[in-house]
Amino acid sequence: MKFASMILMCFAAIVAVGCTKEQQNKISRSVQNWTGTNGVLEFYAGDKLVRRFIAIDKITTAMGTDDGAPRSYRYGYGVLDENLNMRVDPGEKKVYFEISDFGSNYIFFENPH
């Protein structure tokens, strides 16, 4: 069993070395999307924080049903942090959200806590 695992790890290392940097980034993102992240999404009105979603696994770019082309918005699921304290409190629930590419002031980052 250990031998098979070692061969698999060596094969993965060889494939990774042979990939371009962009291909390595795509692989990394797909692994990260699969494993999930503890993301935070914040929306600003000017310099004031007005809305925060926490515990986000990933944000996905919407794709067209018929043409497969990317749409002008992204979506995901996260807990609406109503009191902006970076914690999931009783009563705060996971909700669906959409982000327009038109005029949205937001940042997405991994929760440092």
> If you average pLDDT over residues 41-69, what whole number do you get?
91
**46 and 28 in a common domain:** no
Domain extent at residue 92: 36-113
pTM: 0.65
**31 and 48 in a common domain:** no
**56 and 21 in a common domain:** no
Structure tokens at 9: 């790890």
The 10s digit of each residue's pLDDT in 68-80 is 888 888 899 999 9
The reported pLDDT for the residue numbered 37 is 72
> If you average pLDDT over residues 33-57, what whole number do you get?
85
**67 and 31 in a common domain:** no
**17 and 59 in a common domain:** no
- Range in 7-16, 42-51, 89-98 the model is least confident about: 7-16
- Range in 7-16, 65-74, 98-107 the model is least confident about: 7-16
**54 and 12 in a common domain:** no
> If you average pLDDT over residues 88-109, what whole number do you get?
89
For residue 34, pLDDT over 50 is answered with no
The reported pLDDT for the residue numbered 41 is 93
**31 and 55 in a common domain:** no
Long-range own/partner contacts, residues 53-62 (CB < 8 A, 24 or more apart)? 53/78, 53/79, 53/80, 53/81, 53/95, 53/97, 54/78, 54/79, 54/81, 54/86, 54/87, 54/88, 54/111, 55/79, 55/88, 55/94, 55/111, 56/108, 57/33, 58/32, 58/33, 59/99, 59/108
**58 and 106 in a common domain:** yes
Domain count, the chain: 2
